[in-house]
């Protein structure tokens, strides 16, 4: 996936607004001063900039007909081995503290409940005393969501992103099986489903991919640089400082009153940058997320 980073109004990276011990620009690959910055690398903060940055198009490979719309880059990077028709959905990187998360292999799903409503989720906050930095992430995300509604000529409902003190993002656990994906094996590994509950729905639904979670291992010489290694999401906990790549799930359904559109934030990857005990600035206590888990995703 291609990622974009958010600037402040003064054209500096939001990732540099955190306290020094929480700045990971080099590790995250954010361009340094003087480096070439391509169009897709930056989230524009103006209406005109958004128009030249991304558009809402159709993803013809979608298995869910209510989710055929995607926010895609207008000028994606050119990769030598990819054919010209490859689309690149927009991904936006944010940093923050984990309030709470449910990244278990089957998320909040229980046997007997609809697989279509099974979610994994994460809730991010700005931490104590860092609301200003975090509020700029929320503002940028809200601007993108407003732009999506405007592209579709649909009135936007109340902005939950701006009203909440946190950012909630989720991903669907199961994928609907059809002729194009029925041959794909389940991504669940040994120990992911000890009671084999997912077998009860596997003729129609499968877990075809898992959330990507990694952790930062600093370089011995330069602690601001290093490498990311895969980690079990079970080890993420409240207070950890993370980088999350957010996507935009556009749900469009027809009804007697016309078309209804909802835009949800999804999770592409999560990178643990600093564990809670090292981050020192710990976010507030876990926020109850059951109220948003009932959303129709």
Going by pLDDT thresholds of 50, 70 and 90, the confidence category of residue 85 is: low
Q: How many helices (H) and strands (E) does the chain have?
A: 6, 13
| Residue in the block written with tokens 């000890």 | 194
Question: So where are the chain's domains?
Answer: 5-293
**pLDDT exceeds 90 at position 51:** yes
Percent above pLDDT 90 for the chain? 51
CB contact at 8 A, 172 and 268 = no
Report, as an integer, the average pLDDT of 126-130. Answer: 83
234-247: pLDDT as tens digits: 999 999 999 999 99
pLDDT band at 8 (very low <50, low <70, confident <90, very high): confident
* Higher local confidence (pLDDT), 290 or 29: 29
Predicted confidence (pLDDT) at residue 91 exceeds the cutoff of 90: yes
Q: Determine the average pLDDT of the residues in 144-164.
A: 81
User: What is the Cα 221 distance to its own chain's centre?
Assistant: 31
Lowest-confidence segment of 13-27, 43-57, 65-79, 151-165 by average pLDDT: 151-165
User: Which of the 8 DSSP states describes residue 183?
Assistant: T
Mean residue pLDDT of the chain comes to 84
Q: Determine which of 20-24, 67-71, 74-78, 186-190 has the lowest per-residue pLDDT on average.
A: 74-78
Side-chain half-sphere exposure of 11, counting CA atoms within 13 A: 3
Q: How many CB atoms lie within 10 A of CB 277?
A: 9
Do the Cβ atoms of 165 and 174 come closer than 8 Å?
no
The pLDDT of 83-103, averaged and rounded, is 88
Q: Is residue 275 over pLDDT 50?
A: yes
Q: Is pLDDT larger for residue 279 or for residue 150?
A: 150
pLDDT at 282: 45
Q: Residue range 81-93: average pLDDT? A: 78
List Cβ neighbours of 92 (8 Å cut-off, separation of 6 or more).
Answer: 3, 4, 5, 6, 43, 140, 141, 144, 245, 246
Q: Please report how many Cα atoms fall inside a 13 Å half-sphere around the Cα of residue 75, on the Cβ side.
A: 12
pLDDT band at 292 (very low <50, low <70, confident <90, very high): very low
d(CA 71, CA 23): 28
Per-residue pLDDT at 98 exceeds 80: yes
**What is residue 277's predicted lDDT score, i.e. its pLDDT?**
85
Cα three-residue angle 296-270-142, rounded to 5 degrees: 55
Q: Which range, of 74-83, 103-112, 274-283, averages the lowest pLDDT?
A: 74-83
What pLDDT, on a 0 to 100 scale, did the predictor assign at position 100?
Answer: 94
Query: What is the bridge-based pairing of β-strands 5-6 and 42-43?
Result: parallel
| The pLDDT of residue 168 is above 70 | yes
Residue 106 confidence (pLDDT) above 80: yes
Query: Taking residues 277-294, what's their average pLDDT?
Result: 49
User: In whole angstroms, what is the distance from residue 62 CA to residue 123 CA?
Assistant: 27
pLDDT of residue 159: 58
Flag the least confident range among 29-33, 48-52, 181-185, 225-229. 29-33
**Per-residue pLDDT at 154:** 87
Among 18, 143, 158, which Cα is nearest to 92's?
Answer: 143
The whole-angstrom separation of Cα 225 and Cα 195 is 41
pLDDT digits (tens, 9 = 90+) for 22-46: 988 888 888 777 567 777 888 988 8
């Amino acid at each position: 996936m291609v990622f974009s980073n958010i600037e402040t109004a003064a054209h500096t990276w939001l990732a540099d607004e955190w306290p020094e011990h929480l700045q990971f620009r080099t590790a995250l690959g954010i361009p340094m001063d003087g480096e070439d910055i391509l169009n897709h690398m930056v989230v524009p903060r103006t209406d005109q900039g958004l128009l030249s940055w991304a558009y809402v198009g159709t993803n013809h490979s979608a298995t869910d007909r209510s989710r055929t719309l995607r926010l895609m880059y207008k000028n994606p990077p050119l990769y030598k081995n990819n054919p010209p028709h490859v689309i690149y959905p927009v991904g936006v990187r944010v940093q923050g503290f984990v309030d709470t998360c449910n990244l278990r292999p089957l998320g909040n799903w229980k046997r007997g409940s609809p697989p279509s409503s099974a979610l994994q989720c994460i809730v991010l906050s700005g931490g104590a005393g860092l609301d200003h930095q975090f509020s700029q992430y929320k503002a940028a995300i809200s601007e993108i969501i407003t732009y999506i509604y405007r592209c579709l000529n649909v009135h936007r409902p109340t902005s939950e992103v701006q009203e909440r003190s946190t950012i909630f993002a989720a991903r669907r656990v199961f994928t609907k099986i059809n002729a194009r994906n029925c041959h794909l094996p389940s991504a669940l590994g040994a120990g992911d489903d000890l009671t084999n509950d997912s077998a009860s729905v596997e003729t129609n639904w499968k877990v075809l991919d898992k959330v990507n979670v990694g952790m930062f291992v600093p370089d011995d010489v330069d602690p601001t640089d290093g490498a990311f290694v895969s980690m079990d999401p079970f080890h993420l906990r409240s207070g950890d400082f993370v980088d999350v790549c957010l996507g935009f799930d556009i749900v469009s359904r027809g009804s007697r009153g016309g078309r209804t559109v909802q835009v949800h934030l999804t999770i592409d990857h999560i990178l643990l940058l600093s564990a809670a005990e090292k981050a020192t600035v710990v976010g507030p206590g876990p926020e109850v997320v059951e109220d948003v888990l009932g959303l129709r995703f």
